[in-house]
Amino acid sequence: MEKDKIVIVGRSNVGKSSTIRVLTGKAVRVGKRPGVTLKPNIIPYKVGKTLVDMPGFGFMSGVSKEGQEKIKDFVIHYIEKAQDALFALQIIDAGAFAQIARRWESRGQIPVDIEMFDFLNELGLNPLVVANKIDKIKKDERDVALDEICDFLGLAPPWQKWEDIIVPFSAKTGEGLVELKRKMNQKMY
Ligand SMILES: Nc1nc2c(ncn2[C@@H]2O[C@H](COP(=O)(O)OP(=O)(O)OP(=O)(O)O)[C@@H](O)[C@H]2O)c(=O)[nH]1
Ligand SMILES: [Mg+2]
């Protein structure tokens, strides 16, 4: 089977749909009720390549704990079965990532983003981590934030060493778009 799908995963509200919109110029349908629709949204990207917008996992207001677990299980099973997946784009909120990860660790839990990153790597879908919403972090604080993210992901800082894995990006300002596309192309062909 030809591998033609780029699977887009991430917590709810990190900017998955916004990133797809910037990458494709297409207005991506945004689920009105998060956690209810379990259908991946398939969006044509380049000739013979498609993006798969997965439901966001993790905390969502108005969605029960069981609902959140159901979504995560769905995403995991979908990815496990997806023989046509080329690689994953894992979107994170660059500013919120470390804070959320610390909170989970203080409760003795593995942060869901880190679990997902490891899982994707184990499946050979070597994810490209899109550190989205970088516009919300002051310029002189970005390196520290990106280093901390890398540390959590098991990638020894400085983050610049991992430029094939992590890319600072803003779906709002378009900052980092050229780099993101270039790195996606490297993985695609
Ligand atoms: N400042 C800033 N806001 C952003 C950026 N990307 C997305 N947002 C905002 O973040 C919110 C969530 O964006 P979505 O693209 O809907 O996020 P999502 O990951 O698709 O969310 P779910 O589908 O619910 O999982 C929206 O209010 C966006 O406008 C960014 O780069 N910078
Ligand atoms: Mg979305």
The residues spanned by each domain of the chain are 5-188
CATH architecture observed for domain 5-188: 3-Layer(aba) Sandwich (3.40)
Which pLDDT belongs to residue 79? 94
Which pLDDT belongs to residue 140? 98
71 lines ligand 1 (CB under 6 A): no
Identify whether the C-beta of residue 4 lies closer than 8 Å to the C-beta of residue 21.
no
Which pLDDT belongs to residue 33? 57
Which pLDDT belongs to residue 34? 56
List C-alpha distances in Å: 100 to 55, 72, 161: 19, 17, 24
Exposed/middle/buried for residue 9 (C-beta within 10 Å: 0-12, 13-18, 19+)? buried
Best residue among 18, 24, 61, 133 to mutate for probing ligand 1, ranked by most atoms within 8 Å of CB = 18
16 lines ligand 1 (CB under 6 A): yes
Which pLDDT belongs to residue 189? 84
Which pLDDT belongs to residue 75? 92
Residues surrounding ion ligand 2 at CB below 5 Å: 16-17
95 lines ligand 1 (CB under 6 A): no
Which pLDDT belongs to residue 129? 98
Antiparallel, parallel or unpaired: β 166-168 and 5-10 = unpaired
Which pLDDT belongs to residue 62? 80
Best residue among 9, 13, 60 to mutate for probing ligand 1, ranked by most atoms within 8 Å of CB = 13
Identify whether the C-beta of residue 91 lies closer than 8 Å to the C-beta of residue 57.
no
Low-confidence ranges of the chain (pLDDT < 50): none
